[in-house]
Amino acid sequence: MARENAVVNGTVIDLRPEVPEGVEFDLVLANILANTLVELASLLARSVAPSGRLVLSGILEAQVAEVQAAYRPFLEVRPTTFEREWACLEFEAMRRGG
């Protein structure tokens, strides 16, 4: 479905079932269980390019603090949006170097 939506919207996307080592993306999206997002925090954070964004969804409101805490050492936390009991978390890569 994501590939079809990208074509309809004239957007190029790179969908991958795993995060490749040493590759960075301007935008990383993940919609999976909160406990898995916590386990993958360092791996997903490393895949975000400098000034890039990470967007995580599929998170229950009660899980927000735990997921944010897992990513806070790596990325800057942006405002969270909510729709009913679901949360969408957004993070921004910290500037690297001088």
pTM: 0.80
Residue 48 tokens read as 């975000």
pLDDT given at position 45: 95
State the DSSP code for 19.
-
Domains of the chain, earliest start first: 24-93 (3.40.50.150)
Q: What sign does the CA torsion over 38, 41, 43, 48 have?
A: positive
Judged by DSSP in three states, 40 sits in coil
Q: Which residues of the chain have pLDDT under 50?
A: 98
pLDDT given at position 98: 42
Give which of 79, 84, 86 is closest to 61, Cα–Cα: 86
Backbone phi and psi for residue 50, each to the nearest 5 degrees, phi listed first: -55, 135
Rounded (10°) CA dihedral 79, 48, 70, 60: 50
pLDDT given at position 27: 92
